[in-house]
Structure 1
Amino acid sequence: MRGPLDVVVIGGGQAGLAAGYHLRRLGLDFAILDVQPTPGGAWQHTWDSLHLFSPAAFSSLPGRLMAPKPGETYPAAAHVVGYLADYEQRYELPVHRPVRVAGVHHDSEFLRVETDSGTWLARAVISATGTWSRPFVPAVPGRMSFQGAQLHTVEYRSPHDFAGQRVIVVGGGNSGAQIAADLVYDAELTWVTLREPRYLADDIDGRALFDHATARRRALDEGRTDTGGVASLGDIVAVPPVRAARNAGLLKAQPMFDRITPTGTAWADGMTAEADAIIWCTGFRPALSHLAPLSLRGPRGHIPTTGTQAIGEPRLHLLGYGDWTGPASATLIGVGRPAREAARAISALLR
């Protein structure tokens, strides 16, 4: 058994590292447990062409700006992986990997973190496991009958894997639009969305999205009218590849199909589409199974929080899962502020 420590951080991606930065500044004794064998979090598992939709300077964790890469306005995922590895090393963050956390339990005045490499005791826990490990695929009639390939965003890598094939991409968010734009030149593409695609204005990138998310949270905290935040602007950031494919008339969305057949998809009006592969760009759910022993789950699988702090267990903070754990907290630039608030709250609690 290791510890007791002041804090155990579960997850060594961007949220876990931001938490570690602030915990270190406050002089707390902590460890970061990361299931990945190498630094970089989920960024090391994305598709080949993925780029951020913010410039490097606006995609940074607290304390260290991300250096731009010459010729790239929007950094590639590989650049982010290198930045996170450098960040971890620069601040000498105590990351232990690969460590898989099985469960967090109450243990008298401590929280007990059970892992595949032993037990840790901590006075507080920050959960920063994100969503990438919990891809969501909707229950569409006939899905299990399809004879072609089915994969989720997490499994997609390159359009070359589908050259000449008939591919259906499902999803009207950023991932769906970007993967559809990636495939449209090499595959016979059918892009399917629940509603007509809503593109943000071409001049809007991650900087503006962060500002809108922050303004919404401030308005809600002050009891003012909900501004709608990022959702009020649209669903798809028009990054250059998406913009190019859209402007060329290549991104034409079809409404959501009603069922899946062994060879494709079918709509109620009789329209069909044959397919060799279906790619589900249908989002994720928070990866919170390790917190099940604490019995804190509320509606929709979320753990009720005040800011990042779990209402039912004040020694637990959740970081980086989306707006419900801090405005834009699932982004590089957005996670810094809630990470600082979580670290400060833990420091005050331990005192």
Structure 2
Amino acid sequence: MHVLDSVVIGAGQAGLSSSYHLTRRGVEHVVLDADPAPGGAWQHRWDSLSMEDVHGVADLPDAPAPRGSERPANDVVPAWFADYERRHALPVLRPVAVDRVRSEDDLLVVEAGERAWRTRTLVNATGTWTRPFVPRYPGQDTFAGEQLHTVDYPGAQHFAGRRVLVVGGGASAVQLLGELAPVTETLWVTRREPVWIDRFEPEDGRAAVARVEERVRRGLPPQSVVSVTGLHLRPQEAEAERLGAYRRLPMFARIEPGGVRWADGRCKSVDVILWATGFRPAVGHLAPLHLRSELGGIRLDGTTAVADPRVQLVGYGPSASTIGANRAGRAAATAVARQLRPAAA
């Protein structure tokens, strides 16, 4: 079977950036994407999320990002990605859902159903969208109302006339409360008191990325960059603030058929629980490579997996943001080229 120099798994921002830089370096590779169409996770975002509402989309290499508008992000960004793939003739194959990656002598074998690709190196760019995280609480299965994660959020009008409990202390919870509060009654609970900031400066972002980088360097499970930067309200969330949507309650102790109850006996009746509780890295297919450290995360040196230098991870930890994903794509391509030098000699 033909042996490739590299395989990229995932065609979101990190995967496209990696493929672009691999192509420029003359590295023979394919990009395996599980989705039937271009767009990465953006094609699955809710319809009411406009380009003005997104927290920022970084430029791709040699391609400025679409700027803010009222058009839905799930239309604009996928169209931009599709044009980018065509213009740069990136070798994307889809739909290909990778089941596992294993080691075979000096090569890596990427398996997807009946198909397999043998490669000298791997760039994993699978992100987090396919692994929404919902914590478990006593009584959760008894709740008689609707429970859903933000990955399945259908837009604010779906909840009109129902009391919605939003769970989570991140930027997505703030944004969804901004949409929901003007059309229905909301409650907000978080595990920790939110940290509010007046503005987000570039140095705040660099400091946050450095903290996340330190975690993955030590082999700890990554935190999102947003989780260490603090929260701030945008103009479009002013009405929700006026309505009191951001008066936070502490985390409840259990869930009951008609609502939630705190440890002190207080209870609130709710019709919907919306879990804005984030995502986990989609790296289960890499399990046969035994990359995880004893601390539970994948230890990285830059983008390189310390346990197996043939493997690069982009869109993981500090490169989970779109800006970080672009930088990681360049770094991963450089590391791949370095790893291939002995084979070329």
TM-score by length of 2: 0.88
Q: d(CA) in 2 for partners of 1:218 and 1:42?
A: 23
1:96, distance to aligned residue in structure 2 (A): 0.5
Decide which of 186, 194, 199 is 2:196's aligned counterpart: 199
Q: Give yes or no for contact 1:264–1:273 (8 Å, CA) kept in 2.
A: yes
The size of the alignment, in residue pairs, is 330
Provide the C-alpha distance between the structure 1 equivalents of 2:138 and 2:86, rounded to a whole number of angstroms.
48
Q: In structure 1, which of residues 88, 91, 99 is the aligned counterpart of residue 88 of structure 2? A: 91
Residue of 331, 335, 342 corresponding to 2:321: 331
Distance in 2, Cα, partners of 1:76 & 1:345: 32
Conserved 8 A contact 2:212-2:317: no
Superposed displacement of residue 237, structure 1: 3.8
In structure 2, which of residues 252, 255, 270 is the aligned counterpart of residue 257 of structure 1?
Answer: 252
Deviations, residues 152-182 of structure 1 (Å, cap 9, x unaligned): 1101120111110111110110111111221
For the aligned residues, what is the CA RMSD? 2.4
Residue 344 of structure 1 corresponds to 334
Identity level (%): 46
Instruction: Output the CA distance in 1 between the equivalents of 2:324 and 2:144.
Output: 41
Give matches, 1:174-253, under 5 Å: 174-201=171-198, 203-204=199-200, 210-213=205-208, 233-234=229-230, 236-253=231-248
Residue 81 of structure 1: CA displacement?
A: 2.2
- Of the candidates 299, 308, 313, which is equivalent to residue 308 of structure 2? 313
Query: CA 1:124–1:212 in structure 2 vs 1: closer, same or farther (change >3 Å)?
Result: same
Amino acid aligned to 1:105 = R
Paired residues of 1:113 and 1:120 also in contact (CA < 8 A): yes
- Which amino acid in the other structure matches residue 4 of structure 2? L
Contact 1:53/1:239 (CA < 8 Å) preserved in 2? no
After TM superposition, give the deviation of residue 126 of structure 1 in Å: 0.6
Shift of 1:185: 1.8
Q: In 2 relative to 1, CA 301–43 (structure 1 residues): closer, same or farther, beyond 3 Å?
A: farther
Distance of aligned partners of 1:69 and 1:184 in 2 relative to their CA distance in 1, 3 Å threshold: closer
Q: Distance in 2 between matches of 1:184 and 1:18?
A: 37
Q: Compared with structure 1, are the counterparts of its residues 159 and 69 closer, same or farther at alpha carbon in structure 2 (3 Å cutoff)?
A: closer
Alignment equivalent of 1:163, drawn from 148, 160, 164: 160
Contact 2:166 2:276 in 1 (8 A): yes
Q: Which moved more, 1:169-178 or 1:245-254?
A: 245-254
Report the equivalent of 2:221: none
Give unpaired runs (5+ residues) of structure 2: 216-224
| Structure 1 stretch displaced more, 17-26 or 330-339 | 330-339
Which of 128, 133, 139 is the aligned partner of 1:131?
A: 128
Q: 2:297 aligns with which of 299, 302, 322?
A: 302
Q: 1-side partners of 2:252 and 2:294: how far apart?
A: 28
- Corresponding residue of 1:40: 39
Deviation at 1:296, TM superposition (A): 1.8
Taking structure 1 as the reference length, what is the TM-score of the superposition? Answer: 0.87
* In structure 2, distance between residues paired with 1:289 and 1:71: 36
Q: CA deviation at 1:110?
A: 1.1
Superposed, which structure 2 residues align to 1:42-61 within 5 Å?
42-50=41-49, 51-54=53-56, 59-61=58-60
| Distance (whole Å) between structure 2 residues aligned to residue 141 and residue 248 of structure 1 | 31
